[in-house]
Structure 1
């Protein structure tokens, strides 16, 4: 019997899957050339979009001049010698379960290009001061998709939530290695759009979508000029299998968590994203990248780009950080605690990092004599937890004014090499670009030995 014509609602629903850069065939394909056994490890990254101030988080410099030192007091943790921001009281109880890398640095002070370096390990050939540039190389999640492919349970290898990092793309790996993008799990009646037909509840509708997807993919093949759709057809059936996978549906269903657990993480974007990330890691998703922009909507909730007067922010940047930091403290401490309580601390590595830090000197600006810190890639801090690594330590140090590393300078490439090592990916290997030329996964960098 011939399937009925798909109605407008069906077209709009499949459009969310197929027309927004996220077709099932594109996003959920498995690369044929890699048949190696999957190392059952995961990385959860909290990407601090905007660039968090190291002075107001994990490297406070209380003895620096008044125009430089942190706007907050430091507090002791459960590890002697590790002091952190007063707005991190929950983390202070868990310092034995994380390590701080206080000597992160590079030399690009632009959001998009700094993000490209942080997530791909490759410096853009041409910098874009408008922060609109896109990467020429895939990020670490795209690489994981390429190397590791689908899990045995049919889960995608790379998930981003509640949105993708805007500056990276799979490039020469092909669109089928794009991240599986999940919307904000804290929203009422959250449901992953890609899984609305999971478990084959409506086989007729599934057939309609399958037919439409085939036509849409044919169209995309016709206009593809760079080979980014290569390999899609061969694995189309895997996409349909995941669409109907009860395992995937269960993993993405955050409402299966008890309310007290959801409250422990925080009933906000960051909290529920961290909780969903833990569920996905348990379900064997190798890479989950949480784009930590703002925890809630509203003018009092801002991202980490704490310029004086950025985006019309009035007043002192400390007031925005005072609002923002407790959200990070709650979700991060809940995630770390949960991982250790569930004995997942060898399987799951947590990493918190942005594209750069903030200037040592505080600056006044407009409007209304607002106060803030500008971009500063010369020094910043990353936090890592779990992964079977050595915790409860500080790696590297900056000078007395937080301007630059004085001990153990560490690069984004070093951090990425550590991530790849945890995932079982040879960061020294090469992959082929559009023209078949070998490109190193990382051009430089080594795993951080103090963590291993």
Structure 2
């Protein structure tokens, strides 16, 4: 079934109860995946200049597609209908300027590498999201093709498959939102054809709320992490809860989620990572007392606790999709919390000695049109979808900060230098984590599928910006 495109202007967003990914997108594929290719152990610089081996990746996803003109690729010399309302601001790197409403990121440009020539061909949110989150085009992609078990696995799921954990913990966590609207479930958020066994852990609660508590991580009354120190104790604790708990455990999705939850709790560090009250008040303030900031703080705590991939969705779904009223929305609602939260994350990782071993990526699924426009019946201007060129920012894990890679044309419409695809982004993420470029997964028909089809963005590490 095909659904019409929905713009966020005037659409009421829904809150959804937290459930397992398998409950959203269908049944798993037990027995169909007979082979597993192990990840290569490529070290720093393997095969030429490359990243330091990262222990973790934080993907900060700006769902809906942020405007590159109003962030990392302003065009101050362009006509007003292209330039827009914002001015530019100097950065900590001489000669590099960002748009004026990200001053804190501008002050950390010496630790950022900005790629201004990300590019692909999908003008639709769902298809584009799948490509950016998996590094592969969605199989059989059509307009608003929803998630299915024919999709490619997201990065965390691929890691779980290639490097299965013995401690029962997931290969990745996505928070604080699940990307869906009405009947539309965004692809690229789960394990796709690998099946629900490899789905990442999905959290859908705002860490900034005073009553923040991850439902599936709540301990039964009378128990503590210390008392749940081993799997036998966990089993005994569950059994002691009586018939009600055992009846609920009959559900496959509940059982899977609960099993991972108790694995998290029993690991100690991971269970405690969700207790943001352990952080000093001044640090929480630095991140910002909002969903963006506290989610980014939680991502650092999860990386520190040993979760290899954390994706933070900056918004509920299509939050950055500014077809109208773009300048007010960005200036008042979106850029300030992003600027503050991501800047605090970089500072915090660096202060803790984690930045050298954590790759931070800030990106959306595409950019916005070079020319301002209005929606039918609207008078306040915005920018529409534009995958032909957009920006992404990188930091940590050997990335050479203080550089801009690639150049868009004078109106910010097309790459003027080499373009980089979502497949190249995926190759960069996988290699940072030590995943070999020849790594394969197995699809539903038992066929080996190359996980990496792009090339790592070498310029991030060599400093030889193009």
Q: TM-score range by the shorter chain?
A: 0.7 to 0.9
Q: Tell me which of 182, 200, 209 is aligned to 1:187.
A: 209
Q: Which residue number in structure 1 is paired with residue 321 of structure 2?
A: 305
Judged with a 3 Å threshold, the aligned counterparts in structure 2 of structure 1 residues 92 and 242 are, in CA distance, closer, same or farther, namely: closer
State the Cα deviation string for residues 319-338 of structure 1 (Å, max 9, x = none).
11111211111001101111
Q: Tell me which of 363, 386, 403 is aligned to 2:373.
A: 363
Residue 17 of structure 1: how far off its partner (Å): 6.1
Judged with a 3 Å threshold, the aligned counterparts in structure 2 of structure 1 residues 336 and 140 are, in CA distance, closer, same or farther, namely: same
Judged with a 3 Å threshold, the aligned counterparts in structure 2 of structure 1 residues 19 and 362 are, in CA distance, closer, same or farther, namely: closer
Q: Which residue number in structure 1 is paired with residue 251 of structure 2?
A: 216
Q: Which residue number in structure 2 is paired with residue 404 of structure 1?
A: 414
C-alpha contact 2:38 2:439 (8 A) present in aligned 1: no
Q: Tell me which of 160, 163, 179 is aligned to 1:145.
A: 160
**After the TM superposition, which residues 119-158 of structure 1 pair with which residues of structure 2 at under 5 Å, given as runs?**
119-130=133-144, 132-134=146-148, 136-150=151-165, 155-158=169-172
Aligned length: 403
Alignment partner of 1:103: what SS? strand
State the Cα deviation string for residues 382-423 of structure 1 (Å, max 9, x = none).
000111221110000100011110112111111111110111
RMSD between aligned residues: 3.1
Q: Which residue number in structure 2 is paired with residue 448 of structure 1?
A: 457
Q: Which residue number in structure 2 is paired with residue 298 of structure 1?
A: none
Residue 189 of structure 1: how far off its partner (Å): 1.5
Residue 445 of structure 1: how far off its partner (Å): 1.0
- Bigger shift: 127-136 or 179-188? 127-136
Q: Tell me which of 187, 203, 209 is aligned to 1:167.
A: 187
CA distance in 2, matches of 1:394, 1:36: 31
Judged with a 3 Å threshold, the aligned counterparts in structure 2 of structure 1 residues 251 and 370 are, in CA distance, closer, same or farther, namely: same
Q: Tell me which of 242, 262, 270 is aligned to 2:284.
A: 262
State the Cα deviation string for residues 40-69 of structure 1 (Å, max 9, x = none).
611101111001110000100111121111
Could you list the runs of 5+ residues in structure 1 that have no partner in the other structure?
1-14, 222-228, 296-301, 309-315
Q: Which residue number in structure 2 is paired with residue 6 of structure 1?
A: none
Q: Tell me which of 282, 302, 325 is aligned to 1:280.
A: 302
Q: Which residue number in structure 2 is paired with residue 113 of structure 1?
A: 127
**After the TM superposition, which residues 20-419 of structure 1 pair with which residues of structure 2 at under 5 Å, given as runs?**
21=23, 41-130=55-144, 132-134=146-148, 136-150=151-165, 155-165=169-179, 166-168=186-188, 169-182=190-203, 183-197=205-219, 199=225, 200=227, 206-207=238-239, 208=241, 211-212=246-247, 215-217=250-252, 240-293=262-315, 303-308=319-324, 316-323=325-332, 324-419=334-429
Could you list the runs of 5+ residues in structure 2 that have no partner in the other structure?
1-16, 29-33, 42-52, 180-185, 462-466
CA distance in 1, matches of 2:297, 2:35: 32
TM-score in terms of structure 2 length = 0.79
Judged with a 3 Å threshold, the aligned counterparts in structure 2 of structure 1 residues 370 and 157 are, in CA distance, closer, same or farther, namely: same
CA distance in 2, matches of 1:118, 1:189: 33
Judged with a 3 Å threshold, the aligned counterparts in structure 2 of structure 1 residues 78 and 141 are, in CA distance, closer, same or farther, namely: same
